[in-house]
């Protein structure tokens, strides 16, 4: 907590406080109780691409950084951590995705604290943030490495190793940052009515087995099959997008080419992708359990898929924020969708034409 500074200290570029904050590599900015930006250090310029003269004097709600949280909620117009600190006087910490001046999103870990005056009144709030893109890349690489190890040792052995390393049971439910891919066959009911049950099962098995192979090749896992739909889970949003593009661009055309040779109709699919914090754990009865993921992120992924035009991919902004520059460049803003169960509309991105 910073205490006993005046408003003049916070806006004076030559003050001791400004000199100290400008020497930091972390990004630092200070806002007044109305969230007007009073100070923007050199670290913030370097991390965000915005020079201080373009930012100072503006309000957070002006969509400068346009922060979203891990669930895709736009913080600048709602649950703003800065506003929370100003209102409560309690420090806060959060992982968020601001918008770089270049237009790309990137992950930062931010710490916010109140700045108090001589009478202990809250004059402002200070936010210190650090680009954690490399840390996120390392986390993803580490989890991918664990998946590779699992291919060469039994599940029991791997769980015992993890349990010993963490001194906790390997099967406990955990919260994880994952990307969920939903794939659904378009017009399945009329399609199934034209064929025998055996033909329908054969169609789904052939299609889904191909999806399973591609998912594995892209470092993901099939979480479950639900009739004519598949839910897959990925550590890295880039892998989820790669899997979706391969299914639509390579696997499905070949699948339909073979069906056409047999005089059968074309099969089309929709794919929706969403990212965020989910609960992963064992769900079921004493006799039978499945390792699965649950939460709002999963539900939203399914609803994005339902809004998807046949033969295409739609991704949420939370997934878009996690993509590499190369993958992000393949997508463009598609619109906002009203999603059942969510107060705010979800921003959706589609593959560029």
Q: For 42-94, write each residue's pLDDT tens digit.
A: 999 999 999 999 988 888 777 678 787 776 667 776 668 888 898 899 999 98
Give dist(CA 337, CA 325) in Å, integer.
Answer: 24
Give dist(CA 293, CA 175) in Å, integer.
Answer: 9
Q: Which of 66-75, 201-210, 307-316 is the least confident region?
A: 66-75
Question: Between the ranges 28-42, 48-62, 155-169, 309-323, where is the mean pLDDT highest?
Answer: 309-323
SS (H, E, C) the chain: CEECCCHHHHHCCCCHHHHHHHCCCCEEEEECCCCEEEEECHHHHHHHCCCHHHHCCCEHHHCCCCCECCCCCEHHHCCCHHHHHHHHCCCEEEEEECECCCCCECCEEEEEEEEECCCCCEEEEEEEEEECHHHHHHHHHHHHHHHHHHCCCCHHHHHHHHHHHHCCCCCCCEEEEEEEEEEEECCHHHHHHCCCHHHHHHHHHHHHHHHHHHHHHCCEEEEEEECCEEEEEECCHHHHHHHHHHHHHHHHHHHHHHHHHCCCCCCCEEEEEEEEEEEEEEEECCCCEEEEEECHHHHHHHHHHHCCCCCCEEEEHHHHCCCCHHHHCCEEEEEEECCCCCCCCEEEEEECC
In the chain, residues under CATH classification 3.30.70.1230 are: 173-351
pLDDT digits (tens, 9 = 90+) for 108-161: 999 999 988 888 888 889 999 999 888 887 777 777 777 766 666 555 556 655
Band (1; pLDDT cuts 50, 70, 90): very low
Tokens of 35: 């969230």
Note if the pTM is more than 0.75. no
Give dist(CA 308, CA 296) in Å, integer.
Answer: 18
What pLDDT, on the 0 to 100 scale, is given for residue 219?
Answer: 87
Q: What is the CA radius of gyration of the chain?
A: 24
- Identify any residues that bridge with 229 across adjacent strands, giving them in sequence order: 184, 226
Angle, CA 58 vertex, CA 123 and CA 44 arms, to 5°: 80
Q: Between 187 and 290, whose confidence is greater?
A: 187
Give helix 197-217 / helix 252-261 axis angle, nearest 10°.
150
Give helix 237-246 / helix 197-217 axis angle, nearest 10°.
140
In the chain, residues under CATH classification 3.30.450.20 are: 26-131
CATH superfamily of 26-131: PAS domain (3.30.450.20)
Tokens of 201: 């099962």
What pLDDT, on the 0 to 100 scale, is given for residue 150?
Answer: 65
Give dist(CA 176, CA 289) in Å, integer.
Answer: 19
CATH number of 173-351: 3.30.70.1230
What pLDDT, on the 0 to 100 scale, is given for residue 132?
Answer: 87
Give dist(CA 275, CA 319) in Å, integer.
Answer: 5
Give dist(CA 243, CA 218) in Å, integer.
Answer: 6
């Amino acid at each position: 907590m910073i205490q006993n500074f005046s408003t003049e200290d916070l806006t004076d570029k030559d003050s001791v406080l400004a000199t100290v904050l400008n020497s930091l590599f972390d990004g630092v900015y200070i806002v007044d109780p109305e969230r007007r930006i009073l100070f923007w250090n050199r670290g913030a310029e370097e991390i965000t691409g915005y020079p201080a003269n373009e930012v100072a004097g503006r309000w957070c709600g002006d969509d400068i950084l346009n922060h979203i949280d891990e669930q895709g909620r736009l913080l600048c117009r709602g649950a703003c951590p800065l506003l929370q600190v100003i209102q409560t006087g309690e420090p806060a910490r959060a992982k968020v995705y601001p918008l770089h001046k270049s237009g790309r999103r990137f992950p930062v870990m931010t710490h916010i604290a109140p700045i108090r005056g001589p009478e202990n009144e809250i004059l402002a709030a200070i936010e210190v943030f650090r680009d954690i893109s490399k840390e996120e890349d390392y986390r993803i690489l580490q989890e991918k490495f664990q998946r590779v190890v699992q291919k060469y040792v039994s599940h029991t052995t791997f769980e015992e190793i993890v349990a010993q390393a963490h001194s906790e049971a390997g099967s406990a439910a955990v919260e994880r940052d994952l990307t969920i891919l939903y794939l659904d066959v378009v017009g399945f009911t009329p399609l199934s009515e034209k064929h025998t049950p055996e033909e329908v099962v054969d169609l789904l098995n052939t299609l889904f087995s191909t999806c399973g192979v591609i998912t594995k090749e892209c470092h993901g896992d099939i979480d479950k099959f639900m009739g004519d739909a598949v839910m897959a889970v990925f550590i890295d949003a880039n892998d989820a997008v790669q899997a979706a593009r391969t299914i639509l661009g390579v696997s499905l055309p070949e699948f339909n080419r073979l069906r056409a040779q047999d005089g059968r109709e074309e099969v089309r699919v929709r794919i929706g992708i969403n990212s965020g914090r989910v609960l992963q754990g064992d769900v079921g009865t004493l006799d039978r359990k499945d390792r699965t993921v649950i939460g709002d992120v999963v539900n939203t992924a399914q609803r994005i898929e339902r809004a998807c035009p046949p033969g295409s991919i739609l991704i949420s902004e939370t997934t878009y924020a996690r993509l590499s520059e190369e993958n992000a460049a393949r997508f463009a803003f598609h619109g906002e969708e009203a999603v059942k169960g969510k107060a705010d509309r979800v921003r959706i991105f589609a593959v560029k034409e």
